[in-house]
Structure 1
Amino acid sequence: MSTTNKLKILNDPIYGFITIPNSVIFDLIQHKYFQRLRRISQMGLSYLVYPGAHHTRFHHALGCMHLMRKAIQVLRFKDIEITVEEEEALLIAILLHDIGHGPFSHAMERSIVNGVNHEHISLLFMERLNKEFNGSLTLAIQVFKGEYHRKFMNQLISGQLDMDRTDYLKRDSFYTGVSEGNINSERIITMIDVYNDELVVEEKGIYSVEKFLVARRLMYWQVYLHKTSLVAEQLIIRVLKRAKELVEEGKQLDASRALSFFLYHKIDLASFDDKALDIFSRLDDYDVISALKEWQYDDDFVLSHLCKMILNRDLLKIKLKKKPVSKEKLLKKLQLVQQKYQLTEEEATYFVFEGEVSNQAYHSDKQNIFIKMKSGKVVDVIKASDQLNLKALSKPVTKYFICYPKE
Structure 2
Amino acid sequence: MYIILGKTKTNKLKILNDPIYGLVSIPNSLIFDIIEHRYFQRLRRISQMGMTNLVYPGANHTRFHHAIGCMHLMQKAVQALRSKHIDISEEEETALCIAILLHDMGHGAFSHALEHSIVDGIAHEEISLLFMKKLNEEFDGALSLAIEIFEGNYSRKFFHQLISSQLDIDRLDYLKRDSFYTGVVEGNISSDRLIAMMNVRDNELVIEEKGIYSVENFLIARRLMYWQVYLHKTSLSAETLLVRILQRAKSLAKDGVKIPGNDTLQYFLSNSIDKEKFTDETLEKFSMLDDYDVLSAIKSWCNHEDYVLSRLSKMIIHRKLLRIELREKEFTQKFEDKLKNKLVQKLGVKQEYVDDFIIFDKVSNQTYSKKYPIKILTKKGKVKDIVKASDHLNLRTLSKPVVKYFCCYPKNFEVN
Question: TM class, shorter-chain normalised?
Answer: over 0.9
- Taking structure 1 as the reference length, what is the TM-score of the superposition? 0.98
Query: What is the aligned residue count?
Result: 405
**Does 2:342 match 1:343?**
no
From 10, 24, 46, give the equivalent of 1:40: 46
Q: Name the counterpart of 1:387.
A: 392
Q: Name the counterpart of 1:153.
A: 159
Partner Cα distance (2:406, 2:351) in 1: 23
- How far apart are residue 344 of structure 1 and its match? 4.0
1:24-173, aligned counterparts within 5 Å?
24-173=30-179
- How far apart are residue 406 of structure 1 and its match? 1.1
Range with bigger deviation, 259-268 or 94-103? 259-268
Partner Cα distance (1:262, 1:343) in 2: 29
**Partner of 1:199: helix, strand, or coil?**
strand
Write the letter of the residue equivalent to 1:24: L
Q: Name the counterpart of 1:398.
A: 403
Q: Name the counterpart of 2:3.
A: none
From 327, 331, 344, give the equivalent of 1:325: 331
Q: Spell out, residue by residue over 1:159-205, the C-alpha distance to the aligned partner (whole angstroms, 9 max, x if none).
A: 00000000000000000000000000000000000000000000000
Partner Cα distance (2:367, 2:303) in 1: 42
Is the contact between residue 109 and residue 116 of structure 1 (CA under 8 Å) also seen in structure 2? Answer: yes
Q: Spell out, residue by residue over 1:330-383, the C-alpha distance to the aligned partner (whole angstroms, 9 max, x if none).
A: 1221233245444344x32221121111121111112x1000000001000010
Is the contact between residue 217 and residue 361 of structure 1 (CA under 8 Å) also seen in structure 2? Answer: yes
Range with bigger deviation, 127-136 or 103-112? 103-112
1:352-371, aligned counterparts within 5 Å?
352-366=358-372, 368-371=373-376
- How far apart are residue 63 of structure 1 and its match? 0.3
Percent of aligned positions with the same letter in both sequences?
A: 61
Q: Which runs of 5+ in 2 are unaligned?
A: 1-6
**Partner of 1:237: helix, strand, or coil?**
helix
**Partner of 1:130: helix, strand, or coil?**
helix
Partner Cα distance (2:112, 2:23) in 1: 31
Range with bigger deviation, 333-342 or 355-364? 333-342
Range with bigger deviation, 65-74 or 347-356? 347-356
**Does 2:215 match 1:206?**
no
Partner Cα distance (2:365, 2:120) in 1: 25
Partner Cα distance (1:234, 1:95) in 2: 29
**Partner of 1:65: helix, strand, or coil?**
helix
Partner Cα distance (1:393, 1:116) in 2: 29
- Taking structure 2 as the reference length, what is the TM-score of the superposition? 0.96
Partner Cα distance (1:5, 1:399) in 2: 51
Write the letter of the residue equivalent to 2:215: V
Write the letter of the residue equivalent to 2:366: Q
1:258-269, aligned counterparts within 5 Å?
258-269=264-275
Partner Cα distance (1:84, 1:226) in 2: 42
- What is the RMSD of the two structures over their aligned residues, measured on CA atoms? 0.9
Write the letter of the residue equivalent to 1:49: V
Q: Which runs of 5+ in 1 are unaligned?
A: none
1:269-280, aligned counterparts within 5 Å?
269-280=275-286
Is the contact between residue 330 and residue 353 of structure 1 (CA under 8 Å) also seen in structure 2? Answer: no
